[in-house]
Amino acid sequence: MSPDQLKQYHYLLLIALSIGVQICLWLDPAIAVPNAGTVIENQATGSYQNDNTEAQTTQSIESDKVTLTVAEVAGINVTSITVSEAATTVTNGGSYQGDGTINAGDIVYYDYLITNVGNDPTQFFIPDSPANVSSGGTFDQTNNPIQIIAYKLTGTNVVLPTPVSVPAGGKRTGPDTATGTTGGLLAKNGIIPAGGSVTIRVPIKINSTATIGQSVSVTIGNTSPNDNTAATQNQVYLNNNNQDIYTQDNSDGTTNTANVVVETIGTPANGTREASATAQATVILPLVQGFKSVKLTVDADNSATISIGDTLTWTLSYINNSSTNITNFQIADLLPSNVAITSNGAQTITINTAQGSTIPAKNSSYTGAGSLGATTNNLLSSPITLLPGGVITVSIPVKIKAGTPAAIILSNQSIATGTELIAAGVKTDNVDRTTTNLPTDVIVPVDSVLQAQNNSIDPTTATVLATSPTVILVKRITGINNQPVNPNDGRVLDAFVDDPGDTNDTRPKWPTPVNSYPVGQTNGGLVKPADTVEYTIYFLSTGTATAHNVLFCDRIPNNVTFIDKAFNSIPVGSGGLPGADRGIAIYRNGSLNAYTNVADGDIARYFLPQQEPTYGDYAQYFPTTDPTKKVCNGPNDNGAVVVYLGNIPKADSPGLPNTSYGFVRFRGLVK
């Protein structure tokens, strides 16, 4: 109740007390300001006894009525309700965003409740920025603006599924008029009744240089003083460059019980009011950061891709960027189940000069298996004190186990613990060779695996290549008339000659030295009838897995006759009939052997012209394949050489194993 209203009540009460009659005076016991337009009506009543009458009757008396009309009274109150860390999905979050504590680099939400403590519906003007952010925090209106997150028009608080952002320059909550639907942040819902409220959120970035125990305070609304006392609430509005929170009335046609419009915009009783409030957050975690990368350090199959048998090295670094010692500092790392510590020992450890000259001892029983918390996952033999500016780096070489599924993603994230750190520990964030602005002494090894970089702390990953067999063939002419040099034109046929149109002849997995294999030329030069031509077809398994059931076919070219006795002088291969002619030579496992031309149990066979090779001829190797399916591409018009090479293992490294490459050779007579 306003001071003027109280004076009126006191006046009436004095009148009643001065009359020597029984009198009843009704007063509203409530002290809250009634709604604008409310009529306060008051009348005194009483009685007296008339002794002059025979019946001594009692006579009633009453005064005339007095009325008051409650004017519009603006009112606003702002209070801090919560301060909390934003989720990991927030824009421009810190390295430890979403871990449940307020750390250096985090985005922190400061939430405030704005309440209409006046007696008439009003709008609120919401500023585009806080009035003040203390040292250690930064407000970013572009990426993390102030937002309305909830409002209350009746007894129920409505939480907005999608917060409403306040644009540059600030904006009111409601429309131009009470009956309008557009124009404000919340449109018609932005007209807040007496007792209603709006909840706003102010995102603040805690600076990366903030230290443990530092408080970051944020003031929303610009009043004087800004000390959270009653003096900061419901003040007469003074314009302070869009940093104010204030009431902004609109013509709503408020009337009293006599249907008289009592809307009095601009009058002192309805003056625009402002308020402010201050909240603070305390940085809990010393600025310890962890970084992790992974690199292919031993490419066992020389595939230039991550595959089974390869060695990966995880490199992790922790830096204490605060001015506080981190005592009992320990690092734990649970390795993926598809890798194992290499036989050459476990991790290696280095430190920077700020940490000192003593290198901590590694945990000799570290396996990376089990569960976090087990001593076998601790990287250090015992905890250390990580000094301010100290950087400790640990490298962990691991080998990808046999049987690892194709295309599996190996994921790893280390956790550091210490007395001064949060209970959940400090996790490593993934980095790679493209990461910029890393702290001094945090080094990412050259050619580390690329990682997806974002604002969240993510595990470091490496994808194992899907195992895939691949066999390549390179065909060359390697002799004319059993000579390495063509006698007709002098063309050299026993040296490596690159075919520019064929990339297979220069694959890195051929035997060393380079350019010593495969030899021969795709153009053998000039020949005459009755000349002998030697054809050599080289094979190499270049994939990431063994190639199974390799079946080779080469059709004899027209104008050439297969020579069935070409290699009778070479040692016979296993499985053939003794004394049979041998026209097919095969080099494999470091040996050159000759094979018969007939179906007698060895791996090679010559099919006469018009005798079509089918998978039925090799049913013991291909029991589920259509037996009528042809082995060779195209018709067998002039004879064909077919060889079952079986399983060819992948070439793990140049020249090894020698079963991963070889050649098939035959000779023909020019017609």
| Residue reference for tokens 């909550």 | 173
596 vs 602: CA distance, rounded Å: 7
- Position 258 scores a pLDDT of 55
Q: Is 575 in the same domain as 452?
A: no
Contacts of 157 (CB under 8 A, 6+ apart): 150, 151, 197, 199
Q: Is 19 in the same domain as 124?
A: no
Q: Is 357 in the same domain as 240?
A: no
- Position 369 scores a pLDDT of 83
Q: Is 80 in the same domain as 57?
A: no
Q: Is 316 in the same domain as 352?
A: yes
* Number of domains the chain contains: 4
Indicate the residue among 463, 484, 513 that finishes a domain.
Answer: 463
Q: Is 527 in the same domain as 621?
A: yes
Considering only the C-alpha atoms of the chain, give the largest distance between any 2 of them, rounded to a whole number of Å: 167
- Position 414 scores a pLDDT of 94
- Position 302 scores a pLDDT of 64
| Token couple for 512 | 């060393």
Q: Is the dihedral of CA 89, 93, 96, 99 positive or negative?
A: negative
316 vs 288: CA distance, rounded Å: 13
Angle at 11 between CA 7 and CA 13, to 5 degrees: 115
Quick one: how many helices (H) and strands (E) in the chain?
A: 1, 39
Q: Is 94 in the same domain as 241?
A: yes
Q: Is 574 in the same domain as 454?
A: no
> For the chain, which residues score pLDDT lower than 50?
1-31, 264-269, 345, 653-656
289 vs 285: CA distance, rounded Å: 10
Q: Is 642 in the same domain as 529?
A: yes
> DSSP state, 423?
T
Residues in the chain: 671
- Position 5 scores a pLDDT of 41
Domain that holds residue 393: 288-463
- Position 28 scores a pLDDT of 36
| Token couple for 295 | 């690199």
- Position 254 scores a pLDDT of 57
Interval 485-532: pLDDT, tens? 999 999 999 999 999 888 899 887 888 777 778 999 999 999 999 999
Contact criterion met (CB below 8 Å) for 201 and 163: yes
- Position 177 scores a pLDDT of 66
- Position 56 scores a pLDDT of 65
411 vs 292: CA distance, rounded Å: 11
| Token couple for 662 | 């070889």
433 vs 439: CA distance, rounded Å: 14
Indicate the residue among 16, 35, 69 that finishes a domain.
Answer: 69
| Residue reference for tokens 């500023």 | 127
| Token couple for 200 | 């706003």
Q: Is 270 in the same domain as 350?
A: no
Indicate the residue among 410, 431, 463 that finishes a domain.
Answer: 463
- Position 81 scores a pLDDT of 96
Report the DSSP pairing between strands 288-298 and 311-320. Answer: antiparallel
Q: How many CB atoms lie within 10 A of CB 336?
A: 22
> DSSP state, 563?
-
Q: Is 399 in the same domain as 305?
A: yes
**Coil/strand/helix, residue 656:** strand
Contact criterion met (CB below 8 Å) for 316 and 393: yes
Instruction: For residue 357, give the CATH number of its domain.
Output: 2.60.40.10
Q: Would you call 20 exposed, middle or buried from its count of C-beta atoms within 10 A (0-12, 13-18, 19+)? A: exposed
**Coil/strand/helix, residue 389:** coil
Q: Is 557 in the same domain as 572?
A: yes
589 vs 657: CA distance, rounded Å: 8
Contact criterion met (CB below 8 Å) for 593 and 585: yes
- The DSSP annotation for 486-546 comes to -TTT--B-SSB---TT-SGGG-TTSPSSTTSSS-BBS------TT-EEEEEEEEEE-SSSP
